[in-house]
Structure 1
Amino acid sequence: MSDVELAEVESFSLDHTKVLAPYVRLIGVEHGPKGDAISNYDIRLVQPNEGEIPTAGLHTIEHTLAALLRTRFDGLIDISPFGCRTGFHMIAWGEPTPEQVGAAIKSALEDLVERVTWDDVPGTEAVSCGNYRDHSLHSAKEWAKQVLDQGISLDAFDRSRLV
């Protein structure tokens, strides 16, 4: 073992073999020096170690959710894909409940599947995206349909409470 000091990261302590995706999971809430709260969510769309969303589809889901979620609740700071391509971290001001986040994710994915056209996807040109050629609305819609068909759980370990 090396002598490099590493901080413990909650996501790497999570037993990825026990979770049941798709789900919304509150990772934690941080409070700033002035009392402001920032909530960190695990938005898991695909079962870890059993599948992954191809990068082009994940990229399009990311860009579309970034815009759609901001119309569904106040305080979204960022939604960023996991490197494993099974979902996203979502960071928001305040303390939105899993129910609020789950409902917003479900609604946004429904719009992605049913209403979003290529012209609606933000950041698909060289001036607005660092890898604008790596998008697929078709893939994004197919993966979003799969998530919606399975339902989004409010508990990472128990699928009895769906949004």
Structure 2
Amino acid sequence: MAEVESFTLDHNIVIAPYVRLIAKEVGPKGDIITNFDVRLTQPNETAIETSGMHTFEHIFADLMRNQLDGIIDISPFGCRTGFHLIAWGEPTATEVAKVLKKTLEEIVKDSYTIDKVQGIAKIACGNYKDHSLHSAKEWSKIILEKGISDDAFVRNVV
């Protein structure tokens, strides 16, 4: 049976919000892929409702890619507490945390409106009715107030 790293993480001792390096993988041709745990809420205490999580997914796919080179994918956790961020190369947890902070700061601006969220029309989204920019904005405020750490176990706010 394959060991899944996130299932071996003690979710009782992490302190969200944080960015944590999960793994660096080296491909057969030497390419490096880096996987991060981008945790927005405290596991087993809070979870972002699906409409807000879905909107975060669309926003992150756009705004974070514009700030951090090499992002391959940003995928939500099924538990709705955060995202996997997978990138080419070796960005650091600090770099990813700073990009996350800038992205959340953009979301909370009054000027960030629903028309700026890409891919939420019926033609572009498989569940276009399940979005909430209001939720994404409210969660962004909460996350920013707590601060984003580049360490899952010790508060080292960026």
- Shorter-chain TM-score: which interval? over 0.9
TM-aligned CA deviation for residue 70 of structure 1: 1.1
User: What are the within-5 Å matches in structure 2 for residues 9-158 of structure 1?
Assistant: 9-114=4-109, 115-158=111-154
- Asked if 1:7 corresponds to 2:11, the answer is no
Using the alignment, how far apart are the partners of 2:112 and 2:90 within structure 1? 29
Any unmatched runs of 5+ in structure 2?
none
Q: Which segment drifts farther, 38-47 or 122-131?
A: 122-131
Task: Indicate the RMSD between aligned Cα atoms, in angstroms.
Answer: 0.6
TM-aligned CA deviation for residue 123 of structure 1: 1.1
Corresponding letter in the other structure for 1:122: Q
SS at 1:78's partner residue? strand
Any unmatched runs of 5+ in structure 1?
1-5
| 1:10-68 C-alpha deviation (Å, 9 max, x unpaired) | 00000000100000000000010110000000000000000100000010011001100
| 1:104-151 C-alpha deviation (Å, 9 max, x unpaired) | 010011101114210000111111011000000000000011000000
Using the alignment, how far apart are the partners of 2:94 and 2:11 within structure 1? 22
Using the alignment, how far apart are the partners of 2:77 and 2:92 within structure 1? 21
Using the alignment, how far apart are the partners of 2:138 and 2:68 within structure 1? 25
Using the alignment, how far apart are the partners of 2:13 and 2:94 within structure 1? 21
Using the alignment, how far apart are the partners of 1:92 and 1:139 within structure 2? 27
SS at 1:64's partner residue? helix
Please identify runs of 4+ aligned residues in structure 1 that moved more than 6 A: none
Using the alignment, how far apart are the partners of 1:112 and 1:94 within structure 2? 27
Residue 162 of structure 1 corresponds to: 157
Using the alignment, how far apart are the partners of 2:108 and 2:33 within structure 1? 29
Per the normalisation by structure 2, the TM-score is: 0.98
Per the normalisation by structure 1, the TM-score is: 0.95
SS at 1:70's partner residue? helix
Corresponding letter in the other structure for 2:138: E
Greater C-alpha Rg: 1
Report % sequence identity: 62
